[in-house]
Structure 1
Amino acid sequence: MKLQLVAAAAAALAAAVVPTVASAQGAPAAPHSAQAGVTITSPAGGLCLTIAEANNFHGAEVDMENCTGAPNQRWSHQPGGLVVSDLTPAAGQPQLCLDDRWNNPRAGAAIDVYDCHSDWPAERWTFDGSHEHNANGLCLDITDANPLQGAAVKLFGCTGVNNQNWHEG
Structure 2
Amino acid sequence: MPRSRFSGRALALTALTAVLSALFTVAPAEAAEGAITGLAGKCVDVAAASSANGTAVQLYSCNGTNAQRWSNPGDGTLRALGKCLDVVDRGTGDGASVQLWDCSGGANQKWVVTAAHDIVNPAANKCLDVRDNNSADGTRLQIWSCTGGANQKWNAPASGGGTTPPPSTSGFVVSEAQFNQMFPNRNPFYTYAGLVAATKKYPAFATTGSDTVKKQEAAAFLANVNHETGGLVHIVEQNTANYPHYCDWNQPYGCPAGQAAYYGRGPIQLSWNFNYKAAGDALGIDLLNNPWRVEREPDIAMMTGLWYWNTQNGPGTMTPHNAMVNSAGFGQTIRSINGSLECDGRNPAQVQSRVDAYLRFTSILGVAPGANLYC
**Superposition deviation, residue 78 in structure 1:** 2.3
Which of the numbers 107, 111, 116 marks the counterpart of 2:94?
107
Deviates more, 1:72-81 or 1:104-113: 72-81
Pairing of 1:75-154 with structure 2 (within 5 A): 75-85=70-80, 87=81, 95-118=82-105, 120-128=106-114, 129-154=117-142
Q: Report the AA paired with residue 96 of structure 1.
A: K
Equivalent pair of 2:32/2:72 in contact (CA under 8 Å):
no
TM-score by length of 2: 0.32
Q: How many residue pairs were aligned?
A: 125
Deviations 1:36-60 (A, max 9, x none): 6210001x21110000010111110
| Aligned residue in 2 for 1:5 | none
- Is the partner of 1:45 in helix, strand or coil? helix
Q: 1:78 to 1:36 in 2, by over 3 A?
A: closer
2:145 to 130, 154, 157: 157
Query: How far, CA to CA, are the matches of 2:104 and 2:74 in structure 1?
Result: 11
Q: How does 1:56-67 map to 2 (within 5 A)?
A: 56-67=51-62
Please identify which structure carries the higher strand content: 1
In structure 2, how many angstroms separate the alpha carbons of the residues matched to 1:77 and 1:64?
19
**Local SS of the residue matching 1:81:** coil
Work out the CA distance in 2 between the residues paired with 1:149 and 1:47: 8
Name the CA distance, whole Å, in 2 between partners of 1:136 and 1:155: 8
Unaligned segments of structure 2, at least 5 residues = 1-30, 158-375
Q: Equivalents in 1 of 2:44, 2:122: separation in Å?
A: 19
Kept in 1: contact 2:111–2:119 (CA 8 A): yes
Residue from 49, 71, 74 that aligns with 2:44: 49
Q: Distance in 2 between matches of 1:138 and 1:36?
A: 24
Asked if the contact 2:33–2:69 (Cα under 8 Å) also holds between the matched residues in 1, the reply is yes
- Give the Cα separation in 1 of the matches to 2:74 and 2:108: 15
Identify the residue that residue 64 of structure 2 maps to in structure 1.
69
**AA aligned opposite 1:123:** Q
Q: Once superposed, which parts of structure 1, at least 4 consecutive aligned residues long, lie more than 6 Å away? A: none
Deviations 1:138-158 (A, max 9, x none): 000000000111111000000
| CA distance in structure 2 between the aligned counterparts of 1:69 and 1:37, rounded to whole angstroms | 12
Alpha-carbon RMSD across the aligned residues, in angstroms, is 1.4
Deviation at 1:162, TM superposition (A): 0.4
Amino acid corresponding to residue 56 of structure 2 in structure 1: E
> 1:113-153, CA deviations, whole angstroms, 9 ceiling, x for partnerless residues?
100022x1100001111210011210000000001111110
SS in 2 for 1:97: strand
Distance 2:127 2:73 in 1: 19
- CA displacement, residues 65-112 of structure 1 (integer Å, 9 cap, x when unaligned): 110121110111123311111x2xxxxxxx310001111111110110
Distance 1:84 1:150 in 2: 19
CA distance in 1, matches of 2:62, 2:156: 12
Q: What residue is the counterpart of 1:38 in the other structure?
A: 34
Tell me which structure has the larger Cα radius of gyration.
2
Provide the secondary structure at the position in 1 that maps to 2:139: coil
SS at match of 1:64: strand
Does the 8 A contact of 1:45 with 1:148 survive in 2?
no
Q: Distance in 2 between matches of 1:79 and 1:115?
A: 17
- Equivalent pairs: percent with the same residue? 30
Q: What CA distance in whole angstroms lies between the structure 2 residues aligned with 1:37 and 1:72?
A: 12
Looking at structure 1, the residues matched to 142 and 84 of structure 2 have their Cα atoms a distance apart, in angstroms, of 15
